[in-house]
């Protein structure tokens, strides 16, 4: 953790902000890139506040968002979302009689 924020989300948000702001500075305007940087600051503060009491809470929030995006067609059809474990191994045992 760096500054109360986990390293991977910090690098992801920081790198994405840097990349987008540099491109927008050269292609559009410096004010737009400044706006992108100012938008990233509250995001980093929110991540710090989220992980203040539980360091895995940010991961849970991101996992919930990913599952919500993945199951949106099912939710639109059936009006509900169901989660279950994935079974990667198949049973190779046969019923013995």
Can you give the pLDDT at residue 28? 93
pLDDT of residue 34: 94
Q: Tell me the domain boundaries of the chain.
A: 7-71
C-alpha 58/C-alpha 66 separation (Å) is 12
Cut 0.75: pTM above it: no
Q: Give the orientation angle of helix 57-70 with respect to helix 30-50, to 10 degrees.
A: 110
Residue 93 has pLDDT above 80, yes or no: no
| Averaged pLDDT score across all residues of the chain | 85
């Amino acid at each position: 953790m760096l500054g109360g924020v986990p390293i991977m989300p910090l690098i992801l948000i920081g790198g994405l902000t840097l990349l987008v702001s540099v491109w927008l500075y050269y292609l559009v305007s410096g004010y737009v890139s400044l706006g992108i940087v100012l938008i990233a600051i509250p995001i980093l503060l929110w991540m710090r506040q989220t992980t203040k009491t539980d360091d895995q809470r940010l991961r849970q929030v991101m996992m919930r968002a990913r599952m919500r995006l993945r199951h949106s067609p099912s939710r639109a059809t059936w009006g509900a979302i169901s989660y279950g474990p994935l079974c990667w191994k198949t049973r190779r045992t046969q019923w013995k009689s």
